[in-house]
A and B are shown apart, each in its own frame.
Chain A
């Protein structure tokens, strides 16, 4: 009930359109009552010749109402269905805006497929309910009432007899609609099981073959195949009966009209024309009777979808932009920072100081917590104990904080647009020269110029696919263009060859002056000349110092360093 109210809430925004549309629909439905009545007049007139009016009069009435219907039907469609599309557009915009505001925690626990399903299926179901749901509901009321009035006017007793079937039709449509929907869901379930099995079969094809189990594996697949078959047939059992059952019930009404109506004409209670008109009005009434079941289903589905959408739309973003403070120097301090994720401690009391004009590096084993520090710095997650320019990070305007950090994340994410748009992502209106400058600094300029469309080359599925190293360098250029006081490279050179890496680090030397820079890397060569190196293991900083100091130390850093040297030998 609450959901239904929510659905109505969506409609209210466009109430002007909707009311006018429904009014036009009323006119159209009213016009529909004309033709049977004209036929009645024609037939009665023809039964008692000579004609009291010219046939031409009847013809012109039919035609003129035909034209009226065209005009109003055009407008109600535009108004009502149009409104439902506007609602769809609004919901989708709201949904997207919500997605933009939700943080990492939400995305970690929510499956992308699930979000996509809401953005597609659920939005469509709501649109359907807001569009056809309204149309059908209005149609049921108008068409039903109008046809009933006409029928009752012709003959009360005949109307009574035929109406005895109406509850059956409404119930059958509702019941069948529900069953069909349920069985449909079940067959969809079977369908995903089938897809899953096919996927397993294909991914496991080597094992199947290596053990010469082809026949048996096919048998296994066929079990699911058969299960889907039986689920489909289960659906068909109902689906195949749906239309015939409705048609059957409606036809009983026509048999009733034939008998009682025919009797009334013979007995002179009604004229032949009235009998025929009654027949056509009944034809018009059948649709609203069927539609009651349909509309209930459409609205049920719409409200269920709206509920699912609202469960996301009503989420509060974890991280809010409430404070005002702005980053000036970019001095970052971590004071005993703890952070756990899903109950697992990831950072266990980190103390660190990243100063402007200083290059700080973080190295360590995989999953030691390096990237978590980065995530806390740009407040992808919240944690206490982090200070910028001496003030708690929470005091800073989120927008200003993030704009002050040039981040090159571990996984390179580029968008399927041009290279230029990717580089200028943070400042879309930046001058072309700046883009070139950043590209040159990231050592990607030459390679871009070799592409046919140069900076206007499209990336992604429909465009060029760059190598991992090229992508990383574009991501670096994207961060450099911000001219940020803080630059963070999170293993941003992993796919770049050592020669290019060296060139980039040299290019950056000047840029990094007067900036706070944090470089996370697996490559020792990239961190060697840092002012300070933090060595992390299992959420803790276990060593810190300059390269020389750490080598002297002979700890984890030394081991990592030697390993790297050996690997270089093999390359």
Chain B
């Protein structure tokens, strides 16, 4: 729940596994670095559970040892079991007493069998110093360092007398109350540390997983990003990791403590009173069955509810986007009726949920009542025969309550585990994805001169639908070539292939005579500067967007700003490199954004420039900046330009005309324009009109 995001409105719960060993193994890799802290945390948890379970026990001790009368008379007429013989205290008037506090449970059992214990209770008061004043005049006897006072006599005394008589018990209670206070203080501190620590680990692990997913993104093939919508990938990094972290924050924190608590309570119960332990044990299966059935029911109803809520939400969302149609076709009333129907559906399913809760929650309370009733029955009989003390009886009722909570909650962790595992699986699938462009791992080549060759290149994104058909061309070092063609002709694909975003099916693409498949990807990209058609800016300032994360010197930056004409555009707008931009642009026009990407491409002195001109409407002045910058940029570099403006084409060595995936012409503007039926001529005229 800690970083529980508002999950996507429409995402329905998926039924996943509760435990998956592959995913667990992978997850454990992240847990491993923290194993020492986790062991420490577990020990802390153990200690905490122990402390927590001691609290009712302190009450028990208080009641048995200091509050209730502790003595019983042993009737002489009966035969005394050997185990009891040496526990007997002989009094001055020759009666036999026994201190119940000093007896073990097994001996108490024997006592009951023999039936030698009086019904009357006695207070055994330790002698300390002389005989207290108030003892005078009341009926008491002395025995082995104790005064023995019958409880019926004690109860007739005044409060002040009782207090004076029982200063030892009062001191004992005070001591216990103090211990109680110290314990709860320790519990407070320790549980804070424990929860904080385990949460910290959970958060650190989430942090690492997020980092690793993002790292993985940098090495996945371009195709992967084409297939997966951005939103989905973002969800992997954000929501899925959050769901996964619930595994730590919810399950690890409480699951361990709950299991330990249950076990601890059972052990203490067994130790305090085997009979009452068995009685309690009889209730647990009942609780287990109810919880289990409840979980099944609740989960089904809950899923149904979620699905119906998803229907409602997608309906609202669809209605919002469809509002012009709804209103222009005057279907508001009908849509309202439709909506109120699905809203009613959801409402009915929430009612089912209410019913499930209204039946099961009280049922669990009923089991609680049954447990208490059983304890009253068996505990009461035990008290009568002195086998069970009042303290034990009271402690049992407390422990019973403490047993219920964790059992009830355990079932809820199944759900958390399930969604954590499902999220884990989705993240794991990304981490295990092998869609990469094969990496040759060949060491660095000398700096490229910049000769580009396409030889009989065939390419398709899928199957046999060829995007490029037998494309061949050569661009010499320093040559400036434009690619022209109608929308969808395959221009952009040529650039993508050169950057090796995809591998081709047939033919070969070479740089300085080396097939690009044999070049290291990073090496390849360091030699090609790209400017894409849709200038992409990162949120931040202009400085960051020009440099990205590179650290060029001042001259390089200034040079880049100058050559790209970004400096002029900045002057015109009267802004500096500190100017803030957002992903959407934030105050910059498309043309200005293009200039930023120009400057960006100039920071590294690459031998090759690949440029896809922006098509959007650009104001004349910026247009002029762009054109002028282009001229400067392509100087001394092998340049491949997809140009949408005629003016750009004029300053280029030669043009490649692409049509429907084929090269249909190559030459200068003058040469190509002469071909009467040529594609280029049509393209040219088309641009002239626009």
Q: What residues on B are CB-neighbors of A99 within 8 Å?
A: 316, 319-320, 323
Q: What residues on A are CB-neighbors of B394 within 8 Å?
A: 43, 276, 279
What's the least CB distance linking A332 to chain B, in Å? 15
Q: Which of B141-149, B181-189, B261-269, B624-632 lies on the face that meets chain A?
A: B181-189
B530, closest chain A residue (CB): A210
Q: Which of B98-106, B287-295, B440-448, B520-528 lies on the face that meets chain A?
A: B520-528
A166 at the interface (CB under 8 A from B): no
Q: Which of B328-336, B404-412, B464-472, B565-573 lies on the face that meets chain A?
A: B328-336
Q: What residues on B are CB-neighbors of A407 within 8 Å?
A: 328-329
In the assembled complex, the Cα of A196 lies from the Cα of B335 at a distance in Å of 34
B525→A218 contact, CB < 8 A: no
In the assembled complex, the Cα of A196 lies from the Cα of B526 at a distance in Å of 28
**Contacts of B367-419 to chain A: CB distance below 8 A:** 368-370, 372-373, 376-377, 380-381, 383-384, 390, 393-394, 397, 401
Indicate the member of A103, A214, A416 with the most B CB atoms within 10 Å: A214
What's the least CB distance linking A21 to chain B, in Å? 11
**Contacts of B175-223 to chain A: CB distance below 8 A:** 176-177, 180-181, 184-185, 187-188, 191-192, 195-196, 199-200, 203-204, 206-207, 210-211, 214-215, 217-219, 222
Beyond A204-B536, A251-B55, A265-B67, whether A225 also contacts B207 by CB under 8 A is: yes
A388-411 near B? 1/0 per residue, CB < 8 Å? 000000000011001101010100
Q: What residues on B are CB-neighbors of A220 within 8 Å?
A: 549
Q: What residues on B are CB-neighbors of A1 within 8 Å?
A: none
Beyond A55-B377, A262-B173, whether A78 also contacts B358 by CB under 8 A is: yes
B244 at the interface (CB under 8 A from A): no
In the assembled complex, the Cα of A258 lies from the Cα of B361 at a distance in Å of 31
A35→B372 contact, CB < 8 A: yes
A55→B330 contact, CB < 8 A: no
A73→B185 contact, CB < 8 A: no
What's the least CB distance linking A382 to chain B, in Å? 13
In the assembled complex, the Cα of A265 lies from the Cα of B234 at a distance in Å of 65
In the assembled complex, the Cα of A182 lies from the Cα of B112 at a distance in Å of 61
The contact of A200 among B350, B361, B368, B538, by CB within 8 Å, is B538
A49→B313 contact, CB < 8 A: no
A472-487 near B? 1/0 per residue, CB < 8 Å? 0000001000100000
In the assembled complex, the Cα of A103 lies from the Cα of B3 at a distance in Å of 37
A271, closest chain B residue (CB): B155
A13 at the interface (CB under 8 A from B): no
B514 at the interface (CB under 8 A from A): no
Q: What residues on B are CB-neighbors of A256 within 8 Å?
A: 177
Q: Which of A57-65, A337-345, A448-456, A516-524 lies on the face that meets chain B?
A: A57-65
B372→A62 contact, CB < 8 A: yes
B163 at the interface (CB under 8 A from A): yes
B683 at the interface (CB under 8 A from A): yes
A431 at the interface (CB under 8 A from B): no
B321 at the interface (CB under 8 A from A): yes
Q: What residues on B are CB-neighbors of A77 within 8 Å?
A: 354, 357-358, 361
Beyond A81-B354, A266-B163, whether A240 also contacts B192 by CB under 8 A is: yes
A157 at the interface (CB under 8 A from B): no
A97-124 near B? 1/0 per residue, CB < 8 Å? 1011111100100001001110111000
**Contacts of B22-67 to chain A: CB distance below 8 A:** 55, 58-59, 62-63, 66-67
Q: What residues on A are CB-neighbors of B390 within 8 Å?
A: 43, 46-47, 272, 276
What's the least CB distance linking B162 to chain A, in Å? 5
What's the least CB distance linking B486 to chain A, in Å? 4
What's the least CB distance linking B685 to chain A, in Å? 6
Q: What residues on B are CB-neighbors of A195 within 8 Å?
A: 234, 237-238
Instruction: Give the secondary structure class of B's interface.
Output: helix
**Contacts of A193-247 to chain B: CB distance below 8 A:** 194-196, 198-222, 225-226, 228-229, 232-233, 235-237, 239-241, 243-245, 247
B358→A74 contact, CB < 8 A: yes
In the assembled complex, the Cα of A63 lies from the Cα of B377 at a distance in Å of 12
Q: Which of B79-87, B338-346, B639-647 lies on the face that meets chain A?
A: B338-346
A425, closest chain B residue (CB): B329
The contact of B362 among A70, A102, A219, by CB within 8 Å, is A70
B235, closest chain A residue (CB): A195
B366 at the interface (CB under 8 A from A): yes
Q: Which of A300-308, A496-504, A541-549, A558-566 lies on the face that meets chain B?
A: A558-566
A82 at the interface (CB under 8 A from B): yes
Q: What residues on B are CB-neighbors of A8 within 8 Å?
A: none
Beyond A81-B354, A235-B2, whether A259 also contacts B177 by CB under 8 A is: yes
Beyond A262-B173, A272-B390, whether A255 also contacts B242 by CB under 8 A is: no
What's the least CB distance linking B615 to chain A, in Å? 13
B68 at the interface (CB under 8 A from A): yes
B354→A55 contact, CB < 8 A: no
B359, closest chain A residue (CB): A74
Number of interface residues of A (CB under 8 A): 144
Indicate the member of B58, B326, B330 with the most A CB atoms within 10 Å: B330
B318→A59 contact, CB < 8 A: no
Beyond A191-B3, A402-B327, A407-B328, whether A229 also contacts B343 by CB under 8 A is: no
Beyond A99-B323, A405-B328, whether A55 also contacts B225 by CB under 8 A is: no
A428→B334 contact, CB < 8 A: yes
What's the least CB distance linking A279 to chain B, in Å? 7
Q: What residues on A are CB-neighbors of B200 within 8 Å?
A: 233, 236
B210→A225 contact, CB < 8 A: yes
Q: What residues on B are CB-neighbors of A258 within 8 Å?
A: 58-59, 62, 173, 176-177, 180
A430 at the interface (CB under 8 A from B): no
What's the least CB distance linking A151 to chain B, in Å? 17
B603-619 near A? 1/0 per residue, CB < 8 Å? 01000000000000000
In the assembled complex, the Cα of A103 lies from the Cα of B320 at a distance in Å of 11
A73→B361 contact, CB < 8 A: yes
Beyond A43-B390, A266-B66, whether A200 also contacts B583 by CB under 8 A is: yes
B5, closest chain A residue (CB): A191
B340, closest chain A residue (CB): A93
What's the least CB distance linking B590 to chain A, in Å? 15
The contact of B329 among A39, A226, A233, A402, by CB within 8 Å, is A402
B230→A202 contact, CB < 8 A: yes
A104→B170 contact, CB < 8 A: no
A178 at the interface (CB under 8 A from B): no
A413→B325 contact, CB < 8 A: yes
A240→B173 contact, CB < 8 A: no
In the assembled complex, the Cα of A43 lies from the Cα of B379 at a distance in Å of 10
Q: What residues on B are CB-neighbors of A222 within 8 Å?
A: 211
Indicate the member of B215, B230, B370, B380 with the most A CB atoms within 10 Å: B380
Q: What residues on B are CB-neighbors of A203 within 8 Å?
A: 230, 536, 583
The contact of A96 among B336, B372, B529, B539, by CB within 8 Å, is B336
Q: What residues on A are CB-neighbors of B219 within 8 Å?
A: 214
A191→B679 contact, CB < 8 A: no
Chain B positions within 8 Å of A, measured between CB atoms, are 2-3, 5-6, 9, 55, 58-59, 62-63, 66-68, 119, 121, 155, 157, 159-160, 162-163, 166, 169-170, 173-174, 176-177, 180-181, 184-185, 187-188, 191-192, 195-196, 199-200, 203-204, 206-207, 210-211, 214-215, 217-219, 222, 225, 230-231, 233-234, 237-238, 242, 312-314, 316-332, 334-336, 339-340, 343-344, 346-347, 350-351, 354-355, 357-359, 361-363, 365-366, 368-370, 372-373, 376-377, 380-381, 383-384, 390, 393-394, 397, 401, 486, 499, 501, 522, 525-526, 528-530, 532, 536, 538-539, 548-550, 583, 600, 604, 659, 679, 682-683, 685-686, 689-690
Q: Which 10 A-B pairs have the closest CB atoms?
A: A216-B549, A66-B369, A259-B177, A251-B184, A77-B358, A262-B173, A248-B188, A240-B195, A100-B332, A198-B237
Q: Can you list 26 A-B contacts (CB < 8 A)?
A: A35-B369, A39-B372, A47-B68, A70-B366, A89-B343, A100-B335, A116-B313, A119-B313, A120-B6, A188-B6, A191-B5, A199-B230, A203-B536, A212-B525, A214-B215, A221-B211, A229-B204, A233-B203, A248-B185, A251-B55, A259-B173, A262-B173, A262-B176, A263-B173, A267-B163, A570-B679
